[in-house]
Homo-oligomer: A and B are copies of this chain.
């Protein structure tokens, strides 16, 4: 490669957006450096399955290097980006090394937001990375083990009370799956407790779960959750969390209630990666309340056409001709589309052509709830179709398996799910160093 003459493209982050951008530049005469702090691309829509012991990590994670082994213009770099210097056009890595870029695509994604209550984080982990998933799996499975050994009734009840905070897709999936684990997976395995007696609470501050869906489907999702044994509490705001309880405000003005629980999961909010704020500060750009970078219609950073921001870190608008701009949701199809748009606009700039405003093609939303239950809100070119129950679940299943990267993984996921479906068992009920104060060797 005549690396010296080729434009240097740096892509930060190998989620759906970064991956798609790098792939779309496959035939471009550029030298791409793809930087990620992990060695794998994560299929995040199925991360909750790893957290709930349904899938092993490798089933939803593909080594980035391997994905690009046949694309010679991509160099994969395992490193953490600590800062971008938009003036010097360099990216600084943990350890001190720097990368020089001519074009920068920032796809650093999002992390959890505790809405100013970061002290809650240790008591209510969120679900963004494999490490998060393992920690949640550990807490989830350990709670039943601790309950089995607990002799005090109240303490045991607290171990058997699981609270999921946030009624979006992740919260709904987590709560529904946890109910199945308690009702089905663990049946007959304990001698002192009945896992089916576990309480699973789903707390949502708004008026309904899955707010992105039409009200009819939200109501259906709630019914399906309740059939699985999940207690759904909408209009309930969390006011405090510690190692032993969650304090909630059931309604405005109502007295706070305390829910004794030893396993609390956070699915309530996300915010842009800290890199967004650093870049905004350095480039004189703007972040919104969720810490996402406000971008131009073509997803470039204002005043910096050589920097494009995509995925969950971008506060982007969709510009359909004849319509007012609509905010783009933080979902993987949007990230992929932004990745393709970033690559296309980059090639236009290289060819001296004007860039094109981003248009988000919304196919709708899916959310699974549990065995045989899901909701689908499909936006076809003709009309918007909503359905739920078994057919929606099968639709969800195959949509996700189809989009899983790499046939190999798809096959494994299919087998894991088929066996889980028939046996009501879960494959990955394995934790290392499980009990507090336990060592593994």
**A: which residues have CB within 8 A of B?**
37-40, 56-59, 61, 63, 65-66, 68-70, 75-80, 94-95, 97, 111-112, 126, 128-132, 134, 141-142, 145, 148-149, 186-192, 408, 411-412, 415-416, 419, 423, 425, 427-435, 437-441
Contact = CB atoms under 8 A, between A and B. Distances in A.
A316 to B, nearest CB: 23
Nearest to A68: B189
Given A57-B56, A78-B145, A430-B58, A94 B435 contact: yes
A127 B111 CA distance: 34
A190 to B, nearest CB: 7
For the residues of A in contact with B, the DSSP-based class is loop
B432 A134 contact: yes
Contact of A131 (B79, B94, B148, B432): B432
Given A39-B145, A112-B441, 4 more contacts: A58-B428, A69-B187, A78-B142, A129-B440
A145 B419 CA distance: 36
A12 to B, nearest CB: 14
Nearest to A185: B66
A65 B190 contact: yes
Contacts of A192: 75
B77 A430 contact: no
Given A37-B438, A131-B432, A149-B77, A427 B415 contact: no
A419 to B, nearest CB: 6
Q: How many copies make up the complex?
A: 2
B145 A70 contact: no
20 contacts: A38-B434, A56-B56, A57-B430, A58-B427, A61-B430, A66-B425, A68-B189, A69-B188, A77-B148, A77-B149, A78-B142, A78-B435, A79-B149, A80-B438, A112-B441, A129-B440, A129-B441, A131-B432, A411-B415, A415-B415
Contact of A431 (B39, B59, B111): B39
A37 B430 contact: no
A38 B432 contact: yes
Contacts of A129: 432, 440-441
Contacts of A59: 56
B79 A111 contact: no
A95 B188 contact: no
A64 to B, nearest CB: 9
A131 B138 CA distance: 14
A168 to B, nearest CB: 18
Given A56-B57, A149-B77, A428-B58, A437 B128 contact: no
B134 A66 contact: no
A63 B59 CA distance: 19
A430 B39 contact: yes
Nearest to A60: B430
A38 B419 contact: no
Contact of A38 (B134, B428, B440): B440
A378 to B, nearest CB: 32
A190 B189 CA distance: 47
Contact of A63 (B95, B126, B430): B430
A91 to B, nearest CB: 14
Nearest to A59: B56
Nearest to A38: B434
B149 A437 contact: no
Contacts of A70: 188
Interface centre among A66, A130, A149, A191 (most CB of B within 10 A): A191
A219 B323 CA distance: 76
Contacts of A76: 189, 191
A132 B58 contact: no
